[in-house]
Amino acid sequence: MTKEEFQKEVMPMGDKMYRIAYRLLGNSESARDVLQELYLKLWEKRNELHQLSSIDAFACTVLKNKCLDKLRLQKPTIDIEVLNTHGNNPEAAFDHMEGISEIHKIMQLLPERQRIIMQMRDIEGCSFEEIALLADTTENNVRVQLCIARKWVKEELMKVYNYGI
């Protein structure tokens, strides 16, 4: 694929891909970064793109995977709202943050698909429709996987809190 063909066939997808990345990441700068990574990946694969039945579908898949990788690498932050709700009680705020930290540790033990679904729904606030689209599954399957993941996390969390009782 020549530079002109690439500009004609791939570059027009930019707006659509940016909107998808922005919805997944919730951050304009991160979405632009992922879009640049996507263009780079497509440019590296430019000689193989003509073999694909749909460049658009391939680009969406690559974009989705790059966004999920970026979400996995994000470190948890302390929510200022948590500190505000506990007022001047640093012990309560600490206990709350410790509980959140424990949940994140337990979530890391989930199978990857369930972990991603739980993170996207409960932490990122994505809709079932968005998750189903990105996970390439049905909304009903997303709901089932989320229910299984939440139940398992709850059971593991109860084991931690009930240890020694």
CATH class belonging to 3-73: mainly alpha
Q: Which residue ranges of the chain lie beneath pLDDT 70?
A: 75-96, 164-165
- pLDDT score for 165: 58
Q: Domain boundaries in the chain?
A: 3-73, 80-161
- pLDDT score for 142: 92
Residue position matching structure tokens 């997808």: 13
Q: Which CATH number fits domain 80-161: 1.10.10.10, 3.90.1560.10, 2.40.50.140, 2.70.70.10?
A: 1.10.10.10
pLDDT tens digit sequence for 6-38? 888 888 888 888 988 888 888 888 889 999 999
Report how far residue 69's alpha carbon sits from residue 53's, in angstroms, rounded to the nearest whole number: 25
